[in-house]
Amino acid sequence: MAAGEAGRRVALVTGAARGIGRSIAMTLARDGADLVLLDLCRDLAESPYRMAVDGDLAETAALVEQAGGRALARRADVRDQAALDAAVADALEAFGRLDVVVPNAGAVSFGRAWELTEEQFTTVVDVVLTGAWHTMKAAVPALIEAGRGGSIVVIGSAVGTRPAQNHAHYVAAKHGVVGLARAFALEVAEHGIRVNVVAPGSVRTELAGSDAIAKLMRPDLEAPRIADASEIMRANHALPIQWAEPQDVAAAVAWLASEQARYVTGAVVPVDAGWVIN
């Protein structure tokens, strides 16, 4: 990522403490960006797996600095518009600019559509869909005012274009992310701002290796472990892999954020090993 005339580009990433968000931050730092790193850093009662903690966010910041970038790390809940507005203001104060925005924060829980609780449904939709809207709502005015264009890359999902069972709220939210991103792409195009979606499939993260995923894929077993679901995970993909790596997603984000993708907007780029076509 080439530096602009006023210095290094600045990227804001939500859900940055670990997994895909961390890999995106490190990749953008290696490409010449300074990073604003946001994460909730606490568990959600409705999520059946451990969320990131403060130490994870601090580690991401250290890794960004090792990769050559400056890091501004903040705890922030993407469900809170004021927190996102404050993060953008902090970015402008610390770095003087904002160029790339990556709404990545996510949450998921599992259950049949009619058995999901109100709390499960609301939490997932608020984090995944409303959180992406909050992030873009906070960032777009700053991008427009700067007059340099910019790139927004929303992290979607393979289930944002093809549904899957037992997490209908997540499927709905990720479908919504695609529509939201494309609507933003139309509305900000006149300002030279591009908005795209990267849609991962199964990625090696804390969630992918959790007992919650094993139970989802092997309900026939009393106490399944992730190894028990490995063949099912491989069968989900056209390519012969169990899952992709976070850096595979980060590479797609980095390309969309670069000048090499200067005429790409409103696109959904799958990084799913052929999950959607399989």
Report if residue 170 sits inside a domain. yes
User: In this predicted structure, what is the pLDDT of residue 226?
Assistant: 65
Decide if pLDDT at 84 tops 50: yes
Report if residue 108 sits inside a domain. yes
Q: Please check whether residues 180 and 231 belong to one and the same domain.
A: no
Q: Please check whether residues 139 and 230 belong to one and the same domain.
A: no
Find the mean pLDDT for residues 21-48.
95
Q: What's the pLDDT tens digit per position in 134-156?
A: 999 999 999 999 999 999 999 99
Q: Please check whether residues 227 and 119 belong to one and the same domain.
A: no
Q: Is position 49 annotated as part of the catalytic site?
A: no
User: In this predicted structure, what is the pLDDT of residue 27?
Assistant: 98
Decide if pLDDT at 233 tops 80: no
Separation between Cα atoms, residue 270 and residue 278, nearest integer Å: 13
Report if residue 64 sits inside a domain. yes
- Confidence grade of residue 208 (pLDDT, cut at 50, 70, 90): low
Q: Please check whether residues 162 and 93 belong to one and the same domain.
A: yes
Number of domains in the chain: 2
Cα–Cα distances (Å) from 249 to 15, 51, 105, 122, 268, in that order, read 14, 20, 14, 27, 13
Q: Please check whether residues 169 and 225 belong to one and the same domain.
A: no
CATH number for the domain that contains residue 141: 3.40.50.720
Q: 231 Cβ partners below 8 Å, 6+ apart? A: none
Q: Please check whether residues 238 and 147 belong to one and the same domain.
A: no
Q: Which amino acid is at 56?
A: D
User: In this predicted structure, what is the pLDDT of residue 1?
Assistant: 41
Q: Please check whether residues 223 and 188 belong to one and the same domain.
A: no
Q: How many CB atoms lie within 10 A of CB 262?
A: 11
Report if residue 277 sits inside a domain. no
Q: Please check whether residues 263 and 199 belong to one and the same domain.
A: yes
Report if residue 138 sits inside a domain. yes
Report if residue 3 sits inside a domain. no
| 197 touches 269 (CB < 8 A) | yes
Q: What's the pLDDT tens digit per position in 244-267?
A: 899 999 999 999 999 999 999 999
Catalytic residue among 170, 184, 243, 275: 170
Q: Please check whether residues 112 and 230 belong to one and the same domain.
A: no
User: In this predicted structure, what is the pLDDT of residue 235?
Assistant: 80
Q: Please check whether residues 215 and 81 belong to one and the same domain.
A: no
Find the mean pLDDT for residues 192-215.
83
Report if residue 75 sits inside a domain. yes
CA torsion 102→36→169→246, rounded to 10°? 70
Find the mean pLDDT for residues 175-201.
98
Question: 217 lies in which domain range?
Answer: 209-242
